[in-house]
Structure 1
Amino acid sequence: MKLVSTLFLKIAVILLGLPVLALCIFLVPELANVAAKLLPQFALMKYLVSIVFYASAIPFFFALYQAFKLLRYIDKNEAFSQISVNALKKIKYCAITISGLHLLVLPLFYLFAEMDDAPGVIFVGLVVPFASMVIAVFAAVLQKLLKEAIDIKSENDLTV
């Protein structure tokens, strides 16, 4: 039963990466062109937007890889180990990095909202940083709980 559930989660992790890969291929160049049209006085804006979005894809895929490794540790009955805590710590740092990078692009969402007279666009721009921070907090809580469980387990192993 456990292998089936981790297999489902592994497939889910892979399926999470596919839309982001498609967004990187198809949507990021369009966003860069829109940014260049919004701010024609800043010639390098197109490249800055591309760099920020592609740079945020790197920690995203690294975090997915760490989640995949965490699922492999669960399959091998190594879930309560220091390597699992390290994987959660890396996921936490990746989520914080993604949130920070997307906050850098938030002024661009403001300019787009002003141009299009649609203030809801700013809230759309806040979705990714907010979701990333939720994931970072969740990973930090799991990391702390797992660390405490490992400590309790090692104390019990010493007393027996």
Structure 2
Amino acid sequence: MSYRTSRNKPRALAALGALAAVLTCGVTVSPAASAAAIYPTCNKTKSVSVASGHSVTVPAYGSANTLTCKLTLDQDKSNPAVKALQRSLKSCEGYVWLDVDGFYGPQTFLAVDALQGSYGLSRDGIYGPNTRDSMKHYSPTLGCARL
């Protein structure tokens, strides 16, 4: 092997590693992005009865308050649905370090991703129907409960 070949080998390996990382990220991000597009973005909250006289607050969408909605990484605006999700993650799922600020930022994304992993769900960091149905939600009167 010549001096020139041995000197370029680390660069070539680094380039291949970077390419592999980009391709891997593309493969894992693409399905999540397409699945997220199926549901509207949660923009409200809804109280859902879970026990006699008790209800939990969950993210919802629109005037019909449908529970089939999603929340994704978005730091541009505060959202009451995100605040309800963060309160449940912090109070019911043990993510005590999470700020309840209504912004779906990196902290919230990481908490949802970790939660999905702990419940055996596909890890994409997106709050959607599977995450909603698996996690516990906050109730001021009951504490925490699942739907």
- TM normalised by structure 2 equals 0.34
Larger proportion of strand: 2
Larger proportion of helix: 1
- TM normalised by structure 1 equals 0.32
